Amino acid sequence: MSFLKFAFRGLFAHRTRTILTLASMTVAVAVLFTLVSFNRGYERALKSQLQSMGIHMLVVPVGCPYEAASLILKGGKIPSYLPASALDDVLKVKEIEIAAPSFMSGIVRPEEGRTDIYVGIDSTTLRLKNWWRIKGRFLSGPNDVLIGSDVAQIELSQVGDQIYVPEMDRTLDVVGILEPTGTEDDGMFYIQLATAQEMFSKPGQLTAISIRLVNPDDAPVVTSRLGNIKGAEVITMGELLGTMMTLMGAAKSLLLSIVLIIIVISALGVLNTVLMSVFERTREIGVMRATGAGRTHVFGLVWLETLMLSFLGGAGGLVVALFGARLLEGLVKRFLPLAPKGSVVALEPGSFLLVMLFVLGIAVAAGFYPALRAARLRPIEALRKE
């Protein structure tokens, strides 16, 4: 206990210097813990959102589906579509429980700074998205439109209202409004498949077929069977998740590199603080050695100071991260591509332990040299030092 007190006194002999070192350590650990928690939370939230969609795979036209999505958002035409016959081929596969065809296209509304996304669907989508709660009813006529809750809010629409699409000179009847789903569905205009194909002059063509399997374990078998459909490719939800995580990977690597640099700088700060403390206490260490303290005691004392400094900084960083992570999450989600709904920060004990172990590992390394230097001091020379 007295050993701890001794270390504590030595550490806080120069309070300002120690507090500044602690602050830098706190910031570094807070950023690292938040980043680790964000990484885990993002992957989990994305996986959960993809699973909650109830879709196991998508059949899309050959080409980059992300480029197609980007083109649709900009109101552009995608280079290729699926023929209606692709749906017949899909339905021949017995392992498939539901196959929902869709046609998606966008109309840019520069005045409003957004794109209206129209999705042509049929009743199979209702079976696929069985979590949908609709105020009103589902689509039954060629001019029916089912709108997401965000659209209803933007257009101040209620069931029974009409929405005019000036670009197509078409009037749609709002027959239903989706209760908020927390997904991109909230911002869509759903119309009948044939209506969408007609509105965008693509009769008989599809942009995707969403598939739910009877048994999700059959995904590899079904993927290989669907591989024969001409002009189509199959994307499983696992692949989609992998691609999204890869897209995030570059940004994550950059952030992690920055955090590691911050931690190295903090570790150098710790090393500097403890080393300065050793230099300033050379005479004191000499007295300790002269009165019977061994090299191991001195080494242990200095090392303990480093560990304490890092532990306090680490603990402070974790507390800051616990309180600050939610605030940060709100900011980050605004700029994050492909951000899933819900929390993307998972503050877990596992991450907590991982970060603490990492910090203590850094402390052990940073404290080694000052501790060794202190232990090697010869008592006679140390006592002579002014």
Partner 1 sequence: MLLFLVQTGSAALCVWRAPDADIAAVFGSGTYKTVFEDVNKDRQARIEKRLGTALDPDETQFKFFPVFQNKKRVGTVMTHAGKGQFGAIEVVVAVIEDDSGAKVKAVRVQRDREKAKAALRSAAFLGQFKGMRANDEFRISNDVGSLKSAAKGAEKASQAVASAVRKLLVVYDEYYGNAAGSGEQKAEK
The residues that touch partner 1, with contacts defined as CB under 8 A, are 111-113, 135, 149, 152-158, 161-166, 171, 177, 179-180
Instruction: Identify which of residues 115 and 243 has a Cβ nearer to partner 1 in the complex.
Output: 115
Nearest to 13 by CA among 285, 249, 262: 285
CB of 152 to partner 1, least distance (A): 5
**Is residue 128 a contact partner of residue 100, using CB atoms and an 8 Å limit?**
yes
**Is residue 109 a contact partner of residue 95, using CB atoms and an 8 Å limit?**
no
Instruction: Identify which of residues 164 and 279 has a Cβ nearer to partner 1 in the complex.
Output: 164
CB of 202 to partner 1, least distance (A): 23
**Is residue 286 a contact partner of residue 2, using CB atoms and an 8 Å limit?**
no
Supply the Cα-derived Rg of the chain in whole angstroms.
31
Q: What is the DSSP letter of 203?
A: T
Instruction: Identify which of residues 176 and 370 has a Cβ nearer to partner 1 in the complex.
Output: 176
Instruction: Identify which of residues 112 and 386 has a Cβ nearer to partner 1 in the complex.
Output: 112
Instruction: Identify which of residues 26 and 105 has a Cβ nearer to partner 1 in the complex.
Output: 105
CA 249 to chain centre: 10
Within 8 A by CB and 6+ apart from 24, the residues are 265, 266, 269, 313
Task: Round to whole Å and give the CA distance between 44 and 38.
Answer: 10
Task: Round to whole Å and give the CA distance between 125 and 178.
Answer: 13
Instruction: Identify which of residues 89 and 185 has a Cβ nearer to partner 1 in the complex.
Output: 185
CB of 168 to partner 1, least distance (A): 12
Name the 3-class secondary structure at 159: coil
CB of 161 to partner 1, least distance (A): 8
CB of 184 to partner 1, least distance (A): 18
CB of 185 to partner 1, least distance (A): 14
Instruction: Identify which of residues 114 and 252 has a Cβ nearer to partner 1 in the complex.
Output: 114
Tokens at residue 77, please?
Answer: 């035409």
What's the CA dihedral at 170, 175, 179, 180 to 10 degrees?
0
CB of 129 to partner 1, least distance (A): 17
Task: Round to whole Å and give the CA distance between 25 and 269.
Answer: 8
